[in-house]
Every structure is written in C-alpha cells, then in structure tokens.
Structure 1
Amino acid sequence: MLTVDFTRFPLAPGDRVLDLGCGAGRHAFECYRRGAQVVALDQNGEEIREVAKWFAAMKEAGEAPAGATATAMEGDALNLPFPDESFDVVIISEVMEHIPDDKGVLAEMVRVLKPGGRIAITVPRYGPEKVCWALSDAYHEVEGGHIRIYKADELLAKIRQAGLKPYGTHHAHALHSPYWWLKCAFGVDNDKALPVRAYHKLLVWDIMKKPALTRVAEQLLNPVVGKSFVAYATKPHLPKADAQ
C-alpha cells in the first residue's frame, strides 16, 4: 500500500533515493522496482533487518532492473550519515508526526538533497487524526507515538521555511480512516472486536484484489476523509552568485 503517488512523483532509473524512516519498507521496495539506487534508513534495527531480507529476496527473484541497488541501514533522522547533496529524491512517509524536532529533520533532508531534487512528505491528515485523538488517549500517548497533528497549511509553511518549493498535494487512504476510528473506539490494542475484525478483512481484500468498486470509492472519498496528507516539493537551484 503506497502513500506516495509515483505518477505525480516519478523516478528515473538510477535516481539516488533516501527513504527516511522507511519502516517496513513499502516505498523503498517500489523505488527499487523502478530502478532507483535506494537507501532505506530507520532507527528501528529489527525493521531494517527485515527490509534488508526483502531487498535480497527481490534481487534473487529478479524484481529489480539492472543497475538498481538497495541498502538498508540504521540511522538518526536528525544526524543523517551522508554528505551534502547525496540524493536526487527523499521520501519521508508517516514519520514527522513522531519527531519533536520536525524542523531539524526537514533541515537534514534539505542538506542531503541535491539542488533540483525532490521530496515527498506524508503525514496523518488533520481531520481524521483529530477524530482518533478525541476517541482514544492511548492512540497518541504511547511511547514513540504521534505528538502533533499537522494542518496542511502549517506543514506547507514549514516546507517553505526549510527552503523547499512545494509543487503538489493530495490525500490518500480514505478507506483506512474508518478502520482507525473503530480501533480507537474499541481499543487500539483490541483486534478481536467484531467491527474491527470485519473492517480489517475488507481492507485486506481491497489491498489484495483492488476491485474497481472500492478503488473508485476511495478516489471519491480521499478529498473528504483521506487518512494521509501528501506534499511534494523541490529544492531550488541556488543562483550562481549565491552558490559561489
């Protein structure tokens, strides 16, 4: 399940891509399939080890084209272990809402991004996320959980303040908002509640089968209750006088 829309955020073969806070690796895997040179970075060592195994399995199965590379590594989003201007593309999906110093993370992403490079940022959308917080304290009070809710204008302002130029936004995963509302209402750790189990089966069916009915429904509902807000931005080239 991808949150970044690669028709709006296209990759070229050989692009150096950083998936920052890669988690289970969903965007990193897609970039690898598209021929990129991918670095998947996360502070969770267990997840990184799993991502590395999947990269190896993809290579063995021939899922990535010639020239594509993939590396999984542990790291700190506030102290990235890369030189300046190392990447053509940076993706950070559902991460910034967890980090107290979000401006610091943006600054690090801008530092390692090449001039002319592009960033995709996804965060929980304000409206659906507010409902989750209202229904359950446990949803956001767990260690490492969500510490803020972004309004779209607020996030875009921070992106601009970091020196980036936004060029597009959209919403995603409308069908997932009701699932999380149910989780919050019945208990975030209560997967046995009948409504939660039933809706989860619906989501799995949708992800696996991609039926036209639910695909069209989600496209229609995304502007209203899309679970994620997605923003795309570029790092401008410095004028020659400023670059010297």
Structure 2
Amino acid sequence: MADGLRGDRLSYLDIVYEDLDLKPGDYAHQLVDYLVESWLGGPSFDSDGTPTRSLLDVGAGKGAQAAVFSRYFNITTIDRADDAQKTFASLNIDARVVVAEIGDQAFPLTDSSFDVVFTKSVIEHVEKWEHFLAEISRVLKPGGYAVVMTPNWRSQKVNFYDDPTHVRPYTQRTLDRVLRMTGFDDIRIDDIYQLPFTWRMPFLKFIPWLVRKLPDSMKWRDRQQRRHRTLVRFSKETMLLAVARKR
C-alpha cells in the first residue's frame, strides 16, 4: 500500500520494502504462480496467447505482484500513488495504473469489471474494512474471486504494531467473518508461511515450525539482518491467504 510520506522523508514503501529486483524464481514469481495454479484455476489464454481474464491489484505499491500477474491477466492497479508505474515502464508491461484513495472512497472503476481482485498486506492498514471489501465486491464480476492476504494476528501480535500504519489485525476467523458480512461465499482461508518451499512441499512445514521456537532476539535487529534472516523471520510470521467468490 503506497501510503507514505513524500518530499525529503522516506516513503512507507521505502522503509518497509527493499528495492524491487524482479527475476524468475523470486518470491513474487513463486507467489503468483502458486496462486494462479493452486487457487485460481490455472492460466487462461485465447488463441493468440492473450490473457482472457482481468485482475485488479488494490494497494499495489511498487507493483511487484502485479508485474508478475501480467503474464496471466490483463492488469489494472489502484493505489494512492503511482509507484507501480515505474516498475511497469522498466519491464515494458502494458498495465493501467489508477491513482485514488482506497481506504474510504469509492474506487473510480466500473462495476463488475474484473475477474479477480488481489490485495496483499493492505486490509490491515484500512480502518473502514466494510467499505473496502464492498468496493472490491462491486468491481468484481459475478462469480469473480477476491484474493486477500494479511498478516495473521496470532503469529504477529508481539510486533504487529511495530508498523505504525497498521490499524486493524485479523485472525482466520475474523477474516472469514468480514468476507461473509460483505457478500462473499465459497471462502477458503489458509495460514501460510511466506516460504515458497512450504507451498510446493507441505511436508517441510516442520522446518519453520522448529525455527519458530527460536527466541525473538534471533529474528533481526536492523534492515541488514532482516534482509539475510528471511528463514527466521518468515518462520515466525505467517500470512492469512483468503480466496472468496462474489455471489
């Protein structure tokens, strides 16, 4: 979510996320491939190889996931800044970038216009969750799918508010309820490690489970350690992955 301070100060995205260096096999590629193959029914192309489905990335930030999703979908992003535009331009990706407030205002997008809406690490920043999810539902086609990813409060309650832009935590039960309250059904929610090897080989989940037993002091003390201790960090922090169908 690209809500950060501009001017002489670092933006939220600059502080929380490292610079993008998208390449095959990285986290963004593995996440998107996993979602498309395991949760969204696989890719769909017409006879000339053009994607037949459309995807909206809400709170796309710098556009890492959206850039990879462009291999499978016609892409639109929406966020309060155009950070994704630079990524798309550098990769020669044809995508629509919409700049608008997403937390408490209507999306400037047509009703029932997307097959999939994806939003990662955004809803926990949104105070008015009911409006946010209602807008996602509004722009989805009937039978379309919302993909919502957010930190699992049960695994991150100690450090959830280390990010001062976090306003609302979610558990698996909470996320299921808010999706049902805003008109979604066929809801599937998984609690995942952000470690792609556990998606491909679930039997290896015992590795992060063991690492999770390490004291929090082993996680990281600064950005340098954060960059290099990904196994420790992502063994201790899990994400909720919800896929829900618009009625």
TM-score normalised by length of structure 1: 0.68
CA deviation after TM superposition for structure 1 residue 183, in Å: 9.4
How many residues matched? Answer: 190
2:190: which partner in 1?
170
Higher relative contact order by CA 8 Å / sep ≥ 6: 1 or 2? 1
CA deviation after TM superposition for structure 1 residue 71, in Å: 1.5
Tell me the amino acid that sits aligned with residue 115 of structure 2. Answer: D
Task: Kindly provide the CA deviation profile for residues 202-233 of structure 1, in whole angstroms up to 9, marking residues without a partner as x.
Answer: 43xx8xxxxxxx9xxx8xx6xxx552100001
1:100 maps to which of 100, 105, 127 = 127
Please provide the CA RMSD for this pair: 2.9
d(CA) in 2 for partners of 1:70, 1:183: 41
Alignment of 1:62-211 (within 5 A): 69-77=94-102, 78-133=105-160, 139-140=162-163, 142=164, 145-174=165-194, 186=221, 190-191=222-223, 197=225, 200-203=227-230
CA deviation after TM superposition for structure 1 residue 25, in Å: 1.1
Tell me the amino acid that sits aligned with residue 181 of structure 2. Answer: Q
Contact 1:171–1:226 (8 Å) recurs in 2: no
Task: Kindly provide the CA deviation profile for residues 180-206 of structure 1, in whole angstroms up to 9, marking residues without a partner as x.
Answer: x559984xxx436xxxx2x52243xx8
1:42 maps to which of 79, 97, 107 = 79
Inter-CA distance 126–55: structure 2 relative to 1 (3 Å threshold) = same
Mark the structure with the bigger radius of gyration: 1
Aligned partner of residue 160 in structure 1, secondary structure = helix
Tell me the amino acid that sits aligned with residue 129 of structure 2. Answer: D
CA deviation after TM superposition for structure 1 residue 11, in Å: 4.3
d(CA) in 1 for partners of 2:223, 2:77: 30
Which ranges in structure 2 are unaligned for 5 or more consecutive residues?
Answer: 1-26, 45-50, 196-207
More helix by share: 1
Identical counterparts, % of pairs: 25
Alignment of 1:229 with 2:235, yes or no, is no
d(CA) in 2 for partners of 1:110, 1:170: 21
Task: Kindly provide the CA deviation profile for residues 38-91 of structure 1, in whole angstroms up to 9, marking residues without a partner as x.
Answer: 011111x2xx24x212212323xxxx6xxxx41222112231001211111100
Task: Kindly provide the CA deviation profile for residues 72-119 of structure 1, in whole angstroms up to 9, marking residues without a partner as x.
Answer: 221122310012111111001110110110010001111111101111
Aligned partner of residue 6 in structure 1, secondary structure = helix
d(CA) in 2 for partners of 1:40, 1:24: 10
d(CA) in 1 for partners of 2:58, 2:217: 29
d(CA) in 2 for partners of 1:171, 1:71: 31
Which ranges in structure 1 are unaligned for 5 or more consecutive residues?
Answer: 207-213, 237-244
d(CA) in 1 for partners of 2:65, 2:159: 25
